[in-house]
A = this chain, B = another copy of it.
Amino acid sequence: MNHTDNQRWVLRRRPESAPGPDDLEFVSSPVDELGDEQILVKNLLLSLDPTNRLWMSDRDQYLPPVEIGEIMRGTTIGVVEQSRSDRFDAGDTVLLGEGGWQTHSVAPGSAARRLRPVEGLPLQSHLSVLGMTGLTAYVGLLDICQPREGETLVVSAAAGAVGSVVGQIAKIKGCRVIGIAGGPDKCRWIVDELGFDGAIDYKSEAVGDALDRLCPDGIDMDFENVGGPIMDAVFSRLNKGGRMALCGMISGYNTEGPLAGPTDFGRVLMNRLTIRGFVVIDHLDRSADARRDLVQWITDGKITWKDHIVDGLENATDALSRLFSGAHDGKLLVRVAQ
């Protein structure tokens, strides 16, 4: 029997609006015994993502919702403490796609992926620029938007973990890039540090007017993370042959019911637009390409990113709420253990 306690967050109820501390419960119990082929992982880092809010709802979505009483779903990085799998030894560093919001995960060895460190990059980069968020940006821009040199891209949540990488890849591909972000600091960062051609602070500017000013020739691509009126402002300025990669609709996740689309859907027809929704888990076959290119671009100084690490699993719910107020700076992670 294991004598270590596993601390974890379980879903207590479905949030009615922004996820709050009473929606999850922090509980503790001894770690489960290992079954055949299983490994025990001590988690070091937990990824927090907008999609977590979807999993807490019973909205029709791309994975089954987390059930009430179940451990909250999330990707972790940790160290193998015990192994009954041939594939791993104690001491191995692994990534668990569904490690969960807990200090210790018991999982089949087949659910873990060994992490090969990349020189000069911190461990948490495997949950951010080299992880799912980097892959999301890579696939969403290159495969879904299919940028051509000289085209104009607008990306929302542009200072976020995905958006900031999207904009930088688009610059590498020769596009004009305008980012929509909240607040002067984020806007300064994406222009001054990341090289975007322009930024719109949606908290202080009318997005449509700013788009008219910054995109006088219209918009060819919308990398859409936000939905709602911001999406509509970009959509309604898409040029003939324009593309929207629909990556997220975070502005609507805290409300129940349908997520609104563009006001004038007729533009899809008149302007021959393509709208394509995508979820990164369908595109894991591009992981090796993304990793190769992203490591190269980082080495060349063409891609910069920020990780925002919150210490302590007990602070995970507080941290999650930051995603929805924008009170975070870069990819949001929880340090579960040193």
Binding site for B on A (CB under 8 A): 59-62, 227, 246-249, 252, 258-279, 282
Residues of B within 8 Å of A263, CB to CB, are 258
Residues of B within 8 Å of A270, CB to CB, are 59-62, 277, 279
Q: In the complex the two chains form, what is the Cα distance from A59 to B248 in whole Å?
A: 30
Task: Say which residue of B272, B273, B282 sits within 8 Å of A272 (CB atoms).
Answer: B282
Q: In the complex the two chains form, what is the Cα distance from A267 to B259 in whole Å?
A: 8
Of chain B, the residue at the smallest CB distance from A268 is B277
B249 and A259 contact, CB distance less than 8 A = no
Show 5 residue pairs from A and B whose CB-CB distance is below 8 angstroms, ordered by the A residue. Answer: A246-B269, A258-B266, A260-B265, A268-B275, A273-B276
The smallest beta-carbon distance between A120 and chain B, in angstroms, is: 35
B282 and A277 contact, CB distance less than 8 A = no
A272 and B261 contact, CB distance less than 8 A = no
B62 and A272 contact, CB distance less than 8 A = yes
Q: Could you list 12 further interchain pairs (A-B, Cβ under 8 angstroms) beyond the known A261-B261, A273-B275?
A: A61-B270, A62-B269, A249-B269, A258-B263, A259-B265, A268-B277, A269-B277, A271-B277, A272-B282, A273-B276, A274-B274, A274-B275
Q: In the complex the two chains form, what is the Cα distance from A265 to B60 in whole Å?
A: 12
B282 and A278 contact, CB distance less than 8 A = no
The smallest beta-carbon distance between A100 and chain B, in angstroms, is: 22
Q: In the complex the two chains form, what is the Cα distance from A279 to B269 in whole Å?
A: 7
A60 and B272 contact, CB distance less than 8 A = no
The smallest beta-carbon distance between A183 and chain B, in angstroms, is: 26
Given A62-B271, A277-B273, A266:B252 Cβ within 8 A: yes
Residues of B within 8 Å of A246, CB to CB, are 268-269
